[in-house]
A = this chain, B = another copy of it.
């Protein structure tokens, strides 16, 4: 048991992920099962696990895979899905979520992972980690199954804030570009701005302004601007990064997930009806599994908070062990790639370029 709390010398080589054990819909046992999956597939990973020590210690002790690799940090309180972000921001000290973020702030861990309340997680992350210099609105970026060779597109913001001005959208484009470089290995990602039509005269005023600013900034910010894209383009191969405000992005994300869930349920129904169909499903098992894997939301689990002095991965509240493991894999990848340093460097240079190119309408902030 003592093994669970000591940090032997070899752990120093490992990428340390700070994990919130509480606050997910399925409870800490599911989170610990996710850690086990991650520890099995990644020998160079270690965890700081935050939550009720009396609950966590016996859970961790059951798994020899976690010996020497999981340090428990006691946090007596839990943020629930119903807590208001503003309250958590004021009174959140002592919660597992707060403690999880603080380990990143203190430099003990590279990246934080939580399945908890999104609004509260963003609020705590903002107040503890603070925004990167020059960032007005942080954003949450998600991966979206797509027709591109890599299999995924990036979309942001999917819910950090409920609105975004033109300048914020431009910054989302820059941050999404760095994420697509590190997460999808794309040299010069193609960025599209989500709108209700692709013609330049369409949409809200801030979108037309952002369109002009992105056209001007694409060279300096390292992306190719493809202009306006529509909802149907989100999974397409004409774009790599889709930029939108957090209200629209959150609704698009959940609509896509809901549609995929409906279809896969109907598919299961279709193959469950009748002996012949069941036999057919058996024959097509591999094909169906490949498809399932392609669109399984658990595999792309993990919204990344961008624009803060530290990287935070928000896992789905309902994530099972596979989902938690996917979020941790993403966290480890971002921790190892030096993502945060690249992001802040890019934002700093974009800020300088914006100041140099004064008069293009982006001078409102700073």
Contact = CB atoms under 8 A, between A and B. Distances in A.
A339 interface: no
A29 interface: no
A201 B117 CA distance: 14
A271 B255 contact: no
Residue of A147, A199, A291 with most chain B CB atoms under a 10 A cut-off:
A291
Contact of A270 (B230, B259, B274, B288): B288
Given A266-B291, A270-B287, A234 B248 contact: no
A196 B276 CA distance: 42
A6 B254 CA distance: 52
Nearest to A199: B82
Contacts of A287: 270-271, 273-274, 277, 280
A43 to B, nearest CB: 33
A233 B146 CA distance: 22
A270 B287 CA distance: 5
Contact of A234 (B119, B159, B255, B284): B255
Contact of A232 (B119, B258, B273, B290): B258
A341 interface: no
A283 interface: yes
A7 interface: no
Size bracket of the A interface: 35 or more
Contacts of A263: 260, 263-264, 291, 295
A8 B266 CA distance: 47
A253 interface: yes
B252 A204 contact: no
A160 to B, nearest CB: 11
Contacts of A281: 280, 284
A188 to B, nearest CB: 24
A261 interface: yes
A118 to B, nearest CB: 9
Contacts of A250: 196, 231
A353 interface: no
Contacts of A40: none
B234 A196 contact: no
Contacts of A219: none
Contacts of A251: 194, 196, 230-231, 244, 248, 251-252
A257 interface: yes
Contact of A231 (B162, B232, B254): B254
A294 interface: yes
A352 interface: no
Given A147-B265, A283-B283, 19 more contacts: A145-B262, A147-B262, A159-B196, A196-B250, A231-B256, A232-B255, A248-B248, A255-B255, A255-B256, A256-B258, A256-B259, A260-B263, A263-B263, A269-B291, A270-B290, A270-B291, A271-B284, A276-B283, A280-B284
28 contacts: A82-B199, A84-B201, A119-B197, A146-B262, A147-B262, A162-B203, A194-B251, A196-B251, A204-B247, A230-B254, A231-B258, A232-B258, A233-B258, A236-B258, A247-B248, A248-B248, A251-B252, A252-B252, A255-B255, A255-B256, A256-B256, A256-B258, A259-B260, A267-B267, A270-B287, A270-B291, A280-B280, A280-B281
